[in-house]
Every structure is written in structure tokens, then in C-alpha cells.
Amino acid sequence: MAKNRTFNRRNILIIIVVILLAATGLTGKLVYLIIFKTEDYAARAKALHERERPIKAERGSIYDINGVEIATNKPVCTISVIHSQIKEPERVIKVLSEELGLSEAAVRKRVEKYTSIERIKSNVNKEIADRIREYKLDGVMVDEDYKRYYPYGSLASKVIGFTGSDNQGVIGLEVKYEDYLKGINGTILTLTTAYGVEIENAAEDRITPQPGNDLYLSLDVNIQKYAEQAAYKVMEAKSADNVKLIVMNPKNGELYAMVNAPEFDLNNPYNLINEIARDYIGETLSSEKLHELLNGMWRNACISDTYEPGSAFKIVTSTAAFEEDVLKLDDRFFCPGYKRVEDRIIRCHKAGGHGSQSFVEGIKNSCNPVFMEVGARVGVEKTYEYYKKLGLFSRTGVDIPGEANSIMHNIDNIGAVELATMAFGQSFQITPLQLLTAASAIINGGTLVTPHFGIEIRSPEGRTVKTLKYDTTENVVSKETSETMKQLLEAVVTDGTGRRAYLPGFRVGGKTATSEKLPRRTGKYISSFIGFAPADDPQVIALVLIDEPVGIYYGGTIAAPVIADLFDNILPYMGIEAKYTEEELKKYQVGTFVVPDFIGKTKKEMKDLLKIYDFGDIYSLGDGDIVTEQFPLPGDSVNRESGLVLYY
């Protein structure tokens, strides 16, 4: 009996001790929670009863070199629904589908979805959003938002790029400088019950969004307009597939313009342009095909596509030869119209040949046999050494995404034939911007620059956040060779294949090119011209490529005038004044007459008409009897003694 009482006392004692220990532990835990974790659990409780709605940050603007705004924002709204707060679902569905132009099925799917908040539509015009507000629909949220807007529509579309529905950059500068432009989104915090119902008269917390920084470019809206005007003019006249035109400062790599005609509308980037859509009229495009066409439309071919540069590349071949001291200006060459290299006969563009000529005459005539000989003198290893120095084995580093690299022979696979064709710009491929960058180094005294658009990042208040820097490499070409090349290329314009780029009062240098596209013998060409001015101290360099022109396709005939037209507009705009020589003052009366329309005239009629006008050299091409094309084009203003090309 006594033994049982002792046992019971022990059990009771154990239970009491356990209870005391548990009570002590719980009391300690309670003290810890009340004293040390109060703020944390208060924040958790608040978060449980708060609903977050994002406030988009205003994206930074993009400005040209003169401070002209070329990408900005328009105030729009985002319409969302909160399922737990909707009292009249059918009315909400009806109103939103009618006002937003959506199907009732699509709206119903979102309205009936059990989520804390469901977006119905973004980028809604303020007028429509204000009408929706007036319905005072429970559970329908109308939040302020921003939509990217481009005041100049299609201007420089493939350079500037555009943003998606989430206001993030998709292509071009918009995506390259995304981290600077995007800003930091804010939040609206609304108190709700445990069931997610908004508490009436409860104050909202608001985390204010921070707007993005602004981007300032070297692009000049006016030069871009002039360049696009010149590109579209020749594209129409020649029924070309497309025209590319780049304008750059050769001294520092600042890009003033970059045209990829036809451009697309930045405010409607998912609408196919007419030039593409017309080929698919009546067809229902699959999503894959549409995506393919849109990517092609957005593609910046100036940096993403490669091509054989043709005779414009003779600038590089000449430079390498002068640097290696294997060429003199008065060296003599003979051109019978072709050159035999191993088992191949490679022809000159002039069927009968140029005969005996100095190198100066050879470059003015753009004679292929001359440059095949010059390339052979330089040799394979030295040729590639100068390609590398001039940046032709690497991307230029331009600040636009999607840049391609050159396609070159493996040095071990280059024989005499390959070396010969490379000397005049065939059998390898580079991008237009690579050629422009290499040519800039050749004429600017020997400094390889990085082409670029971005200049500076500024805060919304105008404070400089970052000045953008770019790499340069000096002495890739000697100053002596640079001076020689400037003089030679000016001679090409004053008295060679590039004379249709001649501008009285301005010293222009340049080089023509006519490249046959691959595969050969399809009759498809790229006509191009690279030009710079003033020739003695280049302030601007430009390259135009006319892809698949119809009819006359020679670079000197149709591409050189494009650069002349461009320079005629932008040189005075840039503050470069015309300085006429005595000879020019006597010979030219600048802009004295408008070119008549000769299309449809017979050879007999033209013989009489040409007695009336003060044209200089007149070139008649083709075997027909009726004029089908002419350059300059009808309506162009030209100088007295300007050349005229007629195609019969």
C-alpha cells in the first residue's frame, strides 16, 4: 500500500515538472514573440491583408544630337479585375468586352479566374479608360500606365528599335540601353479582408516608381531625313529590293544616320509593311511564317548582312600596297581587258581593256587587272595583316545588337586566284559597316574608330549619369598613306568612275563598286558608292548600297549620284561652305536648270533635244531606240555641264 502511494507521488511529481517546464517554455516563446518579433509579425499580418498592384515606371526618352526627342511615352492605362470584389460579373464582362474590343469569352475567362488580380488589357487609351471608370464597376481596377511613342514614325526604325507590351526593349537601341532606360516600377498596396475584399475607406500605400534615364545619340534627325529621302528616291527609280545608307563622322565613329529602306512604323511594329505584305495578299499566314517575316522586316542589314564589297574594296588593297612600299603612283600597268591567273581568265569591266596606264589612271578607271597585280605584290600574309589592322576580321563593336562578322578564306586555302579576286573585293564577305569603318581609318590619318550612336546617359532632371566611351586604335595606317589615298580617291570623283558624285564647290572623294550577287550569272547586282568630304579634311563619310536595281546597275552611274544628292544637302547643313575654284566659277552656274523628262523619246528626238541643254558627257547605253531610263532623274536640279546617262 505504502509502495503504491510512493509510486503515485512520483508520477504526480513528474507530471507537475513536465507541466512547469512546458509552461516556462511557452511563456518564454510568448515573451520572445511579443517583445522581439512584434514588428516582423505585424508586417506579415499586413502583407496578408494587402494586395499589390504594380505602377509602371516611365521609360527614359531618347534624343538625337540636337536634343530632339525621337522616343518618348504616352500616358495609357491598364485594366485589371479582382475576382473576390466583383459583385456584377455579367455586367463587368459586357462592359469590358464592348469598351476594350475583346470577345466576351476572353473577358469571361479572366473575370471568372480565381486569382488575386487578373490583367484584362494594357496600353488602353485614356479616353476609353475614363469611360470604364465612369461605370464604377466593383472589382475593376484602372491603373495609370505608359506606352512607348515615336514622334517620327518610321524614321531610323531599325536603329532605334521598339518596346514590347511590357515596355521592355525588343530590338535596336531600345534593347541595347535597356538597363538605363527602363526605370524602377512602383506599387499600390490596398488593404483587404481575409477573403480578399477591399476594406472601404482604408488608406492605400504607394511606392512611387522611379523613371528611367534618358539616352542622347549622335544620330541627327535632319541628316537621317536627308539620307532616307535619297535612299527612297533611288529605290523607287530603280525598283530596287532595298537600299542601305550609312553616314558617319570618320574621325570619331559617331553615326549621324543609318537607313535600311524600306523602314517600318515604330508605332505599329507588328504590322507588315506594304513592300512585304503585297506578296501575301489573300494568304493566311501561320504564326511561324509571320514571325519570320517580322524578323526580316526588323533586321538591320547595315550591320547584320554581309556582301562582297566589289571595287570599293580597292581602297584597302591600295592602302596595303602603299604601306608595304610595293607600289608607286607612277607605276605602269597594261590592261588588255583581262588577266590570266593560273588556269583562270579574270576579266576587267571594260571589255577592250584600258591599255597602258599608270596606277593613278588605274584607280580612276577601277581597272581589275591593275589591282590583281597590286594584290599579288602585297602577298597573302601581308594582305591578311592589313585586313586585321583595319578591323575586317572582327565586329566593329557598334552599339546595336545583332552585328555579324566577316566571312573570310582560311589563310592556308588562299591561292593565286583567290588573292587576285580578293584584291578587287570578291570571294569574301563583310558587312557595310565594316567597310565604312576600315575606309574611315584610311582617310582619317590612320585611327581605327568604333562606330556608335550612344553619346551620353542623363537623369530625367538633366544630370549627366554616364558619358559613353569607345575604343580606338591609332596608327593602323601611316599618315603619309592616308594623305595619298585621300588624293587618289578625290581624283576618282573629279576624273574617274565616281565623277557623278562630283559637287562644285566641295571636295569629294570616293570609290564606286558594282558587285554581282551569288550565285553568279543571275543578273542580280549590288551597286554601291563610298564617299567622303571635304577630301582634304574629311568631316563625313557615307556608304550607299542599292540591292538588285532593275536596268542600269553600275555603281558609278546610279549609286554615286545618291551620295552627291546627300552631300549637297548635308554639307551646308553641317556648316561646310562651298569654295569654288576659278575653273568651277567659269564652268558651272550652280543649280541653273531642271532635268527634263526624256523617257519615251527616240534616238532621233534626243539628238535634237540635247542641242538645247547644257549637258556635259552624255552616255548612251543599250541597243533599243526608245529611252527607258535616264540619270539624272526627271525633275532633278543640276549644274551646267552635268553628265547625262540614257538607257535605250
Which active-site residues does the annotation give? 311
What are the counts of helices (DSSP H) followed by strands (DSSP E) for the chain?
22, 24
Are 546 and 527 in contact, with CB atoms under 8 Å apart?
yes
Pairing of strands 644-647, 618-621: parallel
Distance from C-alpha of 108 to C-alpha of 110, rounded to nearest angstrom: 5
Cα–Cα distance for residue pair 193/285, rounded to 1 Å: 49
**Residue 360, number of CB atoms within 10 A of its CB:** 18
Q: The dihedral of CA 281, 286, 288, 290: what is its sign?
A: positive
Q: Are 342 and 465 in contact (CB under 8 A)?
A: no
Residue 403 grid cell = 552585328
Which triple of cell numbers denotes residue 598? 526624256
Name beta bridge partners: 527.
Answer: 514, 546
Distances (CA, A) of 495 to 18, 104, 204, 367, 557: 110, 72, 77, 14, 14
Write the DSSP symbol of residue 153.
T
Q: Are 371 and 511 in contact (CB under 8 A)?
A: no
648 CA to centre of own chain: 38
- Cell (9 digits) for 321: 600596297
The three cell numbers of residue 62 are: 531618347
Q: Is the dihedral of CA 592, 598, 601, 607 positive or negative?
A: positive
616 forms bridges with which residues in the sheet?
A: none
DSSP 8-state class, residue 348: -
**Alpha-helical runs (H) found in 511-557:** none
Give the list of residues 6+ apart from residue 195 with CB closer than 8 angstroms, or none.
Answer: 84
Neighbours of 394 (CB within 10 A): 10
H or E element that contains 191? strand 186-191
d(CA 140, CA 119): 10
Long-range contacts of 110-118 (CB under 8 A, 24+ apart): 110/81, 111/81, 111/83, 111/86, 112/83, 113/83, 114/83, 115/83, 116/51, 116/82, 116/196, 117/51, 117/53, 117/80, 117/81, 117/82, 117/141, 118/80, 118/81, 118/82, 118/83
**Site of grid cell 577592250:** 352
* CA–CA gap between residue 333 and residue 371 (Å, rounded): 10
Instruction: Report the 3 state secondary structure along 408-428.
Output: CCCHHHCCHHHHHHHHCCCCC
* CA dist., res. 215 & res. 178, Å (int): 10
